[in-house]
Amino acid sequence: MLELGGKNPTIVHSSADLKTAARRIAYGRYMNSGHICTAPDHVLVWPEVKDAFVRCMAEAVREFYGEDPKASPDYGRVINQANFDRLARLLSSGKAAVGGQTDASERYIAPTVLVDVSLDSPIMKEEVFGPILPVLEIDSVEAVITWVNERPAPLGLYIFAEEPDFIERILDATRSGDAGINDCAIHPLIPELPFGGVGNSGMGKYHGRWGFEAFTNARGVMYHSPKIDPGVRYPPYSKHRLERKVESKLMP
């Protein structure tokens, strides 16, 4: 069993409830200062709702952590200096529409939303694993499917939408370890669901019954009656072939 993380794409369709989507994405991205393998890594949002979605993200950050997240008892810090330095460098990958502030002495990076992010920027080439969320525009289900399938299969795929056909089309045409509809990051808390990656994001599934099967070495036991023991299963096989030929000739 291996669970290896990955760049979890998060799709925000024009039909999505933007306020709820932003609150749930902010929760998943900034919880534990972003140090969660199932966190949404980047958002692909429909152009006509991008600005409204970013505003909703700003509102969610204020609701969760106040005007100064640095002073919030509910907001964490980056785990160590090496990762702080790595994440601070990633901030230059786009424009901070929300947050962007840092304090090296406390290993503090504000809950941040980046826009105007280019596809070849550093933040799009590695798993973020921190409190920075790139937001990019996308405008069709075909483009979403291509985006997901051209990259290593993620640990999680998250879709925020209110159109069932749109959701099912993406689920049917892509691969991911798991998926969430109108929520993100919390599916490992549901014991009835199998949890794990696929391809680069891991192998095997666990939790509940899936965990029992993954970590159990099953032993097969066969019971066979000794009452019937036809000779055809045993050598010499040439003898059995001859007997079958004789029998076939004797048949009318």
What is the DSSP secondary-structure string of the chain? -EE-----EEEE-TTS-HHHHHHHHHHHHHGGGG--TTS--EEEE-HHHHHHHHHHHHHHHHHHH-S-GGG-TT----SSHHHHHHHHHHGGGSEEEE---EEGGGTEE--EEEES--TTSGGGTS---SSEEEEEE---HHHHHHHHHTSPPPSEEEEE-S-HHHHHHHHHH---SEEEES--S-GGG-TTS-B---GGGEE--BSHHHHHHHT----------SS---GGGSS-HHHHHHHHHHHHHH--
Banded pLDDT at 231 (limits 50, 70, 90): confident
Asked if the model's pLDDT at residue 185 lies above 70, the reply is yes
Measure the CA–CA gap between 83 and 239, rounded to whole angstroms: 74
- In this prediction, residue 230 carries a pLDDT of 84
179 neighbors 154 (Cβ within 8 angstroms): no
Asked if the model's pLDDT at residue 44 lies above 70, the reply is yes
pTM above 0.85, yes or no: yes
> Considering the domain boundaries, does residue 136 fall inside one?
yes
Here the CATH number for the domain that contains residue 75 is 3.40.309.10
Banded pLDDT at 29 (limits 50, 70, 90): very high
> Considering the domain boundaries, does residue 183 fall inside one?
yes
- In this prediction, residue 7 carries a pLDDT of 95
> Considering the domain boundaries, does residue 235 fall inside one?
no
> Considering the domain boundaries, does residue 252 fall inside one?
no
Tally of domains within the chain: 1
Sheet holding 9-12: strands in order across? 95-98, 112-115, 132-137, 42-45, 9-12, 156-160, 178-181
> Considering the domain boundaries, does residue 218 fall inside one?
no
Q: Is 31 left (phi over 0), alpha (psi -120 to 50) or beta?
A: beta
- In this prediction, residue 241 carries a pLDDT of 62
Banded pLDDT at 46 (limits 50, 70, 90): very high
Catalytically active residues are 3, 37
In tens, the pLDDT along 77-112 reads: 999 999 999 999 999 999 999 999 999 999 999 999
Domain containing residue 20: 2-212
> Considering the domain boundaries, does residue 116 fall inside one?
yes
Measure the CA–CA gap between 144 and 169, rounded to whole angstroms: 10
